[in-house]
């Protein structure tokens, strides 16, 4: 049995979009167990001294990133449209993802939310968008959304974000295999190779 790959991601993260749309199938092909780890990137960036996304704070980097996103999306055969709001608030769907992390509907839910943000330019922090993403995946979408708004769920997401920071995560997506950190969409294959090699 290969060690699992922990996938730390944020719906508002552009490079998380590229990895999330591919990771479930890629991990399955590699025979590597997948652990979904939603967390909030904003508090971590603020702790590191950023007031906004680094892609917004530095124009040259931002200009590069959007061209890079278009190139990489085309490489993977993924649709992509730069959203009108970046980074987009995603607290509600992140809480739902935390609740679904061990559920069979997790991957499809996350892909639906990502498409709403990175292709359809929708407000993914809106109840209606999240309910639509859950439609057909769970018996009672409204109950899941209500649970996502509970104080206990809010506290769990804060705790998971604090855990990400404690483990040295500084950006998204981040992948951890046996304590080894891989950062960025372009390190997904490296992380899977590491897991397959069974290195300590």
Dist. CA 180–CA 21, nearest whole Å: 22
Say whether 19 is catalytic: no
Out of 13, 16, 53, 174, pick the active-site residue: 13
Token pair of 164 as six digits: 């990400």
Two structure tokens written together for 79? 């649709």
Largest CA distance in the chain: 46
Instruction: Report phi then psi at 8, rounded to 5.
Output: -95, 120
> To the nearest 5 percent, what fractions of the chain are helix, strand and coil?
55, 10, 35
Closest CA to 145 of 159, 134, 160: 134
**CA nearest 13: which of 36, 32, 41?**
41
Axis-axis angle for helices 127-134, 91-100 (nearest 10): 30
Q: Which residues share a beta bridge with 35?
A: 6
Q: Which residue bears the tokens 């997904």?
A: 188
Q: Count of CB atoms within 10 A of residue 108's CB?
A: 15
Q: Which residues are tagged catalytic?
A: 13
């Amino acid at each position: 049995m290969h060690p699992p790959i922990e996938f730390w991601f944020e719906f508002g993260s552009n490079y998380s979009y590229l990895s999330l749309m591919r990771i479930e199938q890629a991990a399955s092909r590699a025979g590597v167990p997948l652990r979904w780890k939603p967390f909030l990137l904003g508090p971590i960036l603020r702790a590191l001294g950023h007031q906004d996304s680094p892609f917004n704070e530095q124009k040259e980097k931002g200009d590069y990133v959007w061209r890079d996103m278009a190139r990489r999306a085309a490489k993977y055969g993924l649709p992509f449209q730069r959203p009108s709001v970046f980074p987009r608030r995603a607290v509600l769907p992140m809480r739902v993802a935390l609740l679904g992390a061990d559920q069979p509907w997790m991957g499809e839910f996350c892909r639906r939310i990502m498409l709403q943000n990175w292709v359809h330019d929708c407000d993914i922090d809106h109840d209606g968008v999240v309910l639509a993403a859950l439609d057909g995946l769970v018996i009672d979408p409204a109950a899941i959304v209500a649970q996502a708004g509970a104080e206990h769920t809010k506290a769990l997401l804060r705790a998971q974000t604090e855990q990400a920071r404690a483990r040295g995560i500084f950006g998204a997506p981040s992948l951890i295999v046996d304590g080894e950190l891989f950062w960025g969409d372009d390190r997904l294959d490296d992380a899977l190779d590491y897991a397959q090699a069974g290195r300590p």
